[in-house]
Structure 1
């Protein structure tokens, strides 16, 4: 199906990614959604190095026949303090399972404008209308508010995949990858972005995992896109389907498409059936707790702005979105 970006009266969306396998799925979900118009995709170092992130996004856009319609911008290659981590052991060195495509588009397709400049420009041109979906480290978002303190006020809403709600980590004892990759950026965003904010945490994603039986049917539908998903996930599934990894998940085994939860919520708010409304922040210090998201349930932070931490999901609607993505 060709990319259809021309229709008016759609939800306007910016997507900020560190494009690994689950980011790829989330981008494909947004592209196929008839009520969404993607104004741009900004890239940040995270799951893999920044050049790979950019190449991966371009590769997905070509797969979805959107290479000419959706601009892609190169953002920050490192965390604010430059102390980078990556997830190449899980996503593959290139971020997409180390299954290269000789015909994939090159970096010449990137826009010349820096990602942070593009974010500020696009939101200023469409004040109060854009939903920003962030599925990687929050470095670009933190830089945007430092360059333009009015930036968050011009957003319609913000959807984040990252952090945790019960101090369960997937990269350190208490740290979820996206927040641990740049804790200072996550702290800035949760403090300075006062727009409507939804957060899909690690534990939320785990508790709404899909069965492996469903996954096997999903990736074996015989379409170009299902074949692509099956190919890029093959590397990570060596880990995620292993007995050790499945025991480490919250509430038992299954397929956990983390980034797709934040994207699905941005596309259809009815997918979120329950939230915890509270102030949130990020721990910046400590041997074990650096990068951990903190939910202030007793008003200790005295913050007036409360985030919506996702805590319930309409799984039938969520599965329908995932299934539509690979047709």
Structure 2
């Protein structure tokens, strides 16, 4: 069994990533830690339980993580995900928050990794606050991970939240800096520009959501707001290349589930800018090796989109 820990801020693409993982019979999700991000933490917690309920997997433990960034002002992505994070689709019978575990997210994450040293793959699709807190509290935590897969950052200084910054990193630049500086396990990054360049045709999205299942019907409802936003002229100006369905978080999750999807990665040291007036939160890619960092991250460059589409289709069956 492939053991996963998932750290997220459940918006629409996080929900899609959860469903991807749950569709794989050889995957065990040890736990899910929730973080501020796409929507306030209370919504993230509720949304995560909603997705697990649709998938009939409320047995997976869900933990409350950080509701605020380390230093930055909190911000959300309601323009894309809806105010509640899942397209503002009412749930007449939402799962009770009493289902949440009592232990805090960063502590639970560390405990699970300590119990399974060298076996746990951590997939992070939110601002990296929980991970930064975990490694600050337990400095050797990252050395016991099998690998880290994250969605965040940018490789060509093309932002989607600020001029030069991607949302997850901009939402907590200090946390992103700590994680990229301290984590020395194998690290794989699905950047903003990579996800844009790897977008799928809207015709595939139609096929994906047309499946006659409870999961597909749920996904179709919660994606209406984000699809409308993604097909707007303003959004098309933001993306770097390709026009179509772009489930950012699913690239990191899919790669963690099946590394063969990554057809080409680029190994390079990375960091995060913290002080620039226009560049705060931007991921720095050190091609000249001026940072003198031994640890290199694997930056995803080319993906097996045919296999990726098959995985997405199966996730809603």
TM-score by length of 1: 0.96
Any gaps of 5 or more consecutive residues in structure 2?
A: none
Distance in 2 of aligned mates of 1:63 and 1:292 = 36
1:278 pairs with 268, 271, 285, which one?
268
Distance in 2 of aligned mates of 1:133 and 1:216 = 27
Tell me the residue number matched to 1:291: 281
Tell me the residue number matched to 1:150: 140
User: What is the alpha-carbon root mean square deviation over aligned residues?
Assistant: 0.8
Distance in 1 of aligned mates of 2:11 and 2:291 = 34
CA deviation after TM superposition for structure 1 residue 236, in Å: 1.3
1:54 pairs with 35, 45, 69, which one?
45
Distance in 2 of aligned mates of 1:93 and 1:248 = 21
Any gaps of 5 or more consecutive residues in structure 1?
A: 1-9
Tell me the residue number matched to 1:218: 208
Secondary structure of the 2:95 match is coil
Residue deviations 1:158-180 (CA, integer Å, cap 9, x gap): 00000000000000110000000
1:180 and 2:198 are equivalent in the alignment: no
Question: Retained in 1: the 8 A contact 2:209–2:216?
Answer: yes
TM-score by length of 2: 0.99
Distance in 1 of aligned mates of 2:82 and 2:62 = 22
Distance in 1 of aligned mates of 2:240 and 2:211 = 28
Distance in 2 of aligned mates of 1:309 and 1:174 = 18
Tell me the residue number matched to 1:28: 19
Tell me the residue number matched to 1:195: 185
Residue deviations 1:129-158 (CA, integer Å, cap 9, x gap): 000000000000000000000000010000
CA deviation after TM superposition for structure 1 residue 223, in Å: 1.3
1:12 pairs with 3, 23, 30, which one?
3
Question: Retained in 2: the 8 A contact 1:20–1:48?
Answer: yes
CA deviation after TM superposition for structure 1 residue 246, in Å: 1.8
Distance in 2 of aligned mates of 1:159 and 1:252 = 23
CA deviation after TM superposition for structure 1 residue 82, in Å: 4.8
Distance in 2 of aligned mates of 1:186 and 1:82 = 12
Distance in 2 of aligned mates of 1:99 and 1:169 = 28
- Report runs of 4+ in structure 1 exceeding 2 Å deviation: none
Question: Retained in 1: the 8 A contact 2:199–2:242?
Answer: no
Distance in 1 of aligned mates of 2:237 and 2:135 = 39
Secondary structure of the 1:173 match is coil
CA deviation after TM superposition for structure 1 residue 275, in Å: 0.7
Distance in 1 of aligned mates of 2:54 and 2:115 = 29
Tell me the residue number matched to 1:140: 130
Summarize the alignment of residues 1-327 of structure 1 with structure 2, pairs less than 5 Å apart. 10-67=1-58, 69-327=59-317
Secondary structure of the 1:189 match is helix
CA deviation after TM superposition for structure 1 residue 216, in Å: 1.1
CA deviation after TM superposition for structure 1 residue 279, in Å: 0.4
Question: Retained in 2: the 8 A contact 1:35–1:267?
Answer: no
